[in-house]
Amino acid sequence: MKEIIIGSIKLILFSSILIVCAGATVLAQSARLQLGSLDKLDAIAEQTVDVTVDQKVLQLAKIFLSKSKKPDEQKVRELIGEIEGIYVRHFTFEKAGQYSVADVEAIRSQLNNPAWAKMINVRSKRNGQNIDVYTQINGNKIGGLAVLAVEDKQLTVVNIVGPIDLEKLSELEGSFGIPGLDIERTENKSQKE
């Protein structure tokens, strides 16, 4: 009887350890998406853009920006402070249907897991545009951001790895090639009134 109780306790402890390890694996999962499945689109796309800004390049940018006195450049330095990488893949096709749903699903399947949460979903039947924005939450911080923009003749994947301050990002929209996203902040709304 004593052996059965000890065996049961060991089984419960072992099961508990497995559950904790599985949870830690989900939380520790990297925000870096695997974009290699898109490489085959290079051959059929009319135009491709492949941006890889890793930690080495970001460190150089921080050094360069640390010497600047311009407020916008200081904001960029603060924004990229802890970011580990920025990866962009953009394809423009001559005609619709040159890439498949499977190409998109290879990326979307990485985002459909407990580590990622869909933050924004935009669907436009008129423009044939689908935009999904996902965040990876680590504790109470955003640990990564992914944007998947699917159109008839274009496909874009943006992946930012590392802590992201959305407030600082919204302050920079319209500058340095960051598109204007029309993010309305509470402080701007109150200033207009």
pLDDT one-digit tens code per residue, 79-126: 777 789 989 999 999 999 999 999 999 999 999 989 999 988 888 888
pLDDT on residue 20: 33
Mean pLDDT confidence for 41-61:
90
pLDDT on residue 125: 83
pLDDT bucket at 147, cuts 50 / 70 / 90: very high
- Residue 165 exposed, middle or buried by CB count within 10 Å (0-12, 13-18, 19+): middle
Decide: 115 and 61 in contact? Cβ < 8 Å.
no
User: How many angstroms separate the CA atoms of 129 and 58, rounded?
Assistant: 31
Judged by DSSP in three states, 147 sits in strand
Decide: 41 and 99 in contact? Cβ < 8 Å.
yes
Positive or negative, the CA dihedral 183, 187, 191, 192 is positive
Decide: 136 and 32 in contact? Cβ < 8 Å.
no
